[in-house]
Amino acid sequence: PVISAAVHVAAFAYLLVACILSALPSAPLTYREAVYSAFPLGCSAVAIFVGLILNVRDYGRNRFTSFQRLMYAFCSLILLVGCIVLLAWPASDGTESRSPTSADWATLAVLAVYAALALIEGKVCRYPVPKTKGEKNASLSKRA
């Protein structure tokens, strides 16, 4: 959980800063000319922020069921594949096709680490112990 939280925070911080830098006209050329520009960077930052919130809410992995593991892996892989597709076939801006910059490759590396973390975490983390009927807490109604 500590490594996962650290990767989530680092990935979110990088994507947020890269999003801001690619949106500023006075930013370095590497970010202004990036194929994976401000809009996809912002979307990726939001997706990883939601993952960070879920990570903090279930820090002990008490609710990390098979469905949650599957969705976590799918979401991270969708982010990674989207970045790969955009870098492999960049959209032309009308005059010429743009080529990926070092900021694009750094973003791809961050998303690859995030996807690897999701796959490893889904495989390594223990499954939550299901509660039996005898372990349920009894609750009294107002009438009682």
SS3 track for 49-118: HHHHHHHHHCCCCCCCCHHHHHHHHHHHHHHHHHHHHHHHCCCCCCCCCCCCCHHHHHHHHHHHHHHHHH
Q: Kindly report, residue by residue over 81-120, the tens digit of the pLDDT.
A: 988 998 888 776 665 667 888 889 999 999 999 999 888 8
pTM: 0.77
Q: Kindly report, residue by residue over 82-93, the tens digit of the pLDDT.
A: 889 988 887 766
